[in-house]
Structure 1
Amino acid sequence: MIVKRLQDLIGTDADVPAENGNWVSRRFLLRKDGMGFSFHDTTIKAGTETYIHYANHLEAVYCVAGNGEIEDLETGKIHKISDGTMYALNGHERHLLRGGSEDMRMICVFNPPLTGREVHDENGVYPLIEDDDEATSAA
């Protein structure tokens, strides 16, 4: 059994901020935990915009607080996000994630699971890291 508390992740290497300050992700479960997915508590900062394209991962996101929107760059459709909204990037959609008037708190699941050391590249993509040793050397 795995039991973790948010307050125990803050300030550790499981507490991962975006280089540009747009978000912070607290990684509860990673590939090394052996669950077949990774599980994150992510805060999207109010008033920010982040381009993302998960070419190598599927992601499901559930908003538990705050507001914002996601723009599907394939279709141009904009979806409002608020507490109780879920979206799933089941087609590797390129998208813009925008924080609204207040921070959004999002619960995120990735498949395949992240190792915890991935960083968005210039195209908004997380690399597919094949082993935890590679993840350590990429940090």
Structure 2
Amino acid sequence: MIVRNVNEVVGTENEIITDNWTSRRVLLARDGMGFSFHETVIFPGTETHIHYCNHLEAVWCVEGDGEVETVADGRKYALGPGVVYALDQNDEHWLRGGREPLRVICVFNPPLTGREVHDAQGVYPLPAATEQEA
């Protein structure tokens, strides 16, 4: 059994901080669960282009506000506590922070290794099999 407190991730290599968000990666590929599990805080007033070509992601909004806009059709969805969205078609999108920090819980498949950040196209690279097993 794996038991972790997200607070144990704060300040470690498994907490990634960018100009737009902080991601606390609680379960990773090396844990062998077949998915990774993260708590992410989107900073107010930010805009992040994301296109997970190599991953599927489900996001549960638990606190704050924001918006997600799909690039293909320009549809906008308000985000707030209780909203879940799933990028089941590797949907290219914009994620925007609102007036308050948006705290979300995310699940990725395949799992992340822990150090990923978006490249210029908004993509996380697909990890090599050896990295997933490390």
TM-score interval, normalised by the smaller of the two chains: over 0.9
**In structure 1, the residue corresponding to 2:128 is in which secondary structure?**
coil
- CA distance in 2: counterparts of 1:25 and 1:74, whole angstroms: 26
Supply the AA of the counterpart residue of 2:23.
Answer: S
Query: Given that residues 67 and 97 in structure 2 are in contact (C-alpha distance below 8 angstroms), is that contact kept between their aligned partners in structure 1?
Result: yes
Query: Given that residues 68 and 77 in structure 2 are in contact (C-alpha distance below 8 angstroms), is that contact kept between their aligned partners in structure 1?
Result: yes
Taking structure 1 as the reference length, the TM-score comes to 0.92
Name which of 57, 74, 77 aligns with 1:76. 74
Query: Given that residues 14 and 115 in structure 2 are in contact (C-alpha distance below 8 angstroms), is that contact kept between their aligned partners in structure 1?
Result: no
Q: CA deviation at 1:17?
A: 1.0
- CA distance in 2: counterparts of 1:132 and 1:100, whole angstroms: 38
**Percent sequence identity over aligned pairs:** 55
**In structure 2, the residue corresponding to 1:56 is in which secondary structure?**
coil
Map of 1:55 onto structure 2: 53
Spell out, residue by residue over 1:35-91, the C-alpha distance to the aligned partner (whole angstroms, 9 max, x if none): 000000000001100000000000000000000000001111000000000000000
Map of 1:7 onto structure 2: 7
Unaligned runs of 5+ in 2: none
Name which of 64, 68, 93 aligns with 1:66. 64
Unaligned runs of 5+ in 1: none
Point out which structure has higher relative CO (alpha carbons under 8 A, 6+ apart).
2
Taking structure 2 as the reference length, the TM-score comes to 0.96
**In structure 2, the residue corresponding to 1:42 is in which secondary structure?**
strand
- CA distance in 2: counterparts of 1:132 and 1:68, whole angstroms: 36
Q: Does 1:106 align with 2:116?
A: no
- CA distance in 2: counterparts of 1:132 and 1:5, whole angstroms: 27
Map of 2:125 onto structure 1: 127
Supply the AA of the counterpart residue of 2:86.
Answer: A
Q: Which runs of 4+ in 1 moved over 6 A?
A: none
Q: CA deviation at 1:131?
A: 3.4
